[in-house]
Amino acid sequence: MNTPNTKPGKPCEESDSIALARLTDQIVECIHCGLCLESCPTYVELGREEDSPRGRIYFMRAVAEGKVEIDESVRRHLDVCLGCRACETACPSSVEYGYLLERARTHIEKTGQRPYLVRLGRRMLLEMFTHSGLLAPALFFATLPYRLLGKKPKAPGGIVSAIVGASGKGGDLYLGSYPRFRPVRIPERTPARDQKKMRVGVVEGCVMPVLFSEVNRATVRVLSALACEVVVPRAQGCCGALHVHNGHTEAAARMALRNIEAFEEAGCDVVAINSAGCGSTIKDYANLFPDGSPEKELAEKFAAKVKDISQIIPDLLRDHPMRSLDLTVTYHDACHLAHGQGIRDEPREMLGMIPGLTLVPLPESDHCCGSAGVYSFTEPDMATRLQMRKVRNIESTGADVVATGNPGCQMWIRSGLLSAGSKIQALHPIEIVDMALRDGG
């Protein structure tokens, strides 16, 4: 492996996130066997050891031990990582690579390893995507020229990529419909249609009310139809996923405590999530707090209630009448559902219960699509390469619909399909279940 130009650095202070005992333990757990290489999208695309999980762990260890400082070259190799965690699935030593990457990125952000304007641009992008009230009008005005000209709705991603100092030109983000000026909220409480089986809290999300409000509405309709009372606490906020993935773990910890309090006050039996990225982070809230702290204990208890929507629906759906759907569907495994949460069978089981629906396999179904939060803006070249690869695989199935359980994947895959002129729809699995329940019971 070619080592980038670095100079000796000081060992990290004990207070630094990158020097935490758990971080060091995880680094030395890596036995450098290389089984992760072929599972890593960036290594598969670039063929460079430096852009593999093993290579990045090498850099993290060198920095933690004070052998090198993080320069532009090291930072680039860490930045180009998608954080998809496919390497964790492949790793025989159970190295928590996602945890290592998050803490390394936290160290980069805390120590100001980027030019000021780039830091400002990246922070602005992060704040926009994690506040529905900012994202909705931003997308509304970005797509307004296309609306006035009667063209397909799209947002000029190249402008955003330039602002955040991306290493590529970026491209247009094609949307399924024109965004509204304000987020579309779901009701704070929806009663169970039949005798109540449980009280389910729903995480509304940040992007969902702006770009995928139909997914949130479908989630509520399905839960209500299956005898669940649905509550959506207004006190909830951003889950903190994008902050964690981009090195702002202290802000994410504050968000975690806010959400835990909001859902505990709502008295939920279960907390349902229809966004894989949010679910992975919320289930992992405990990692944001020190061992032995009351906050960590609180986060662990809360995580026990959190379920992806695909973990809840199959048991409720058994023996429930549904109408037949003449659809051929293929399923894309969202990274933070398959690799982050280990959820693969449940969405397929849920879709397989629908009469008339044919589920066909997708080649490289758990290979990252390139969305990865705001990655499609910060690393547009690699994101587009992975998007095109995913679109080719989807088109090879002959499916009418590709289903995926994460808004980032749905947005990026949909954009790729629209750009390619494909007629294949990108839907959330819960939308398909909702279609089957509309006239079925």
Does the pLDDT at position 385 exceed 90? yes
pLDDT (average), residues 208-221: 94
Q: What values do phi and psi take at 172, rounded to 5?
A: -75, 145
Q: Which of 161, 205, 162, 28 is nearest to 100 (CA)?
A: 28
Does the pLDDT at position 204 exceed 90? yes
Q: What distance in Å separates the CA atoms of residue 298 and residue 363, rounded to the nearest whole number?
A: 40
pLDDT digits (tens, 9 = 90+) for 101-154: 888 888 887 776 778 888 888 888 888 888 999 999 998 998 888 888 888 888
Task: Indicate the pLDDT class of residue 4, thresholds 50, 70 and 90.
Answer: very low
Task: Indicate the pLDDT class of residue 23, thresholds 50, 70 and 90.
Answer: low
pLDDT at 14: 36
Does the pLDDT at position 337 exceed 50? yes
Task: Indicate the pLDDT class of residue 30, thresholds 50, 70 and 90.
Answer: confident
- Tell me the two tokens of residue 415: 């954009």
pLDDT (average), residues 351-365: 96
Task: Indicate the pLDDT class of residue 28, thresholds 50, 70 and 90.
Answer: confident
Which of 281 and 161 is assigned the larger pLDDT?
281
pLDDT digits (tens, 9 = 90+) for 51-62: 999 999 888 888
Q: Is 360 helix (H, G, I), strand (E, B) or coil?
A: strand
pLDDT digits (tens, 9 = 90+) for 290-328: 888 999 999 999 999 999 999 999 999 988 999 999 999
pLDDT at 22: 57
pLDDT (average), residues 359-375: 93
pLDDT at 120: 85
Which of 390 and 72 is assigned the larger pLDDT?
390
Which of 342 and 110 is assigned the larger pLDDT?
342
Task: Indicate the pLDDT class of residue 436, thresholds 50, 70 and 90.
Answer: very high
CB atoms within 10 A of CB 415: 25
* Complete domains list, the chain, with CATH: 17-110 (1.10.1060.10), 318-437 (3.40.50.1860)
- The CA angle 99-101-107, to the nearest 5 degrees, is 105
pLDDT at 308: 96
pLDDT at 275: 95
Distance between alpha carbon 120 and the CA centroid of its chain, in Å?
22
pLDDT at 96: 86
Q: What distance in Å separates the CA atoms of residue 274 and residue 302, rounded to the nearest whole number?
A: 17
Does the pLDDT at position 71 exceed 50? yes
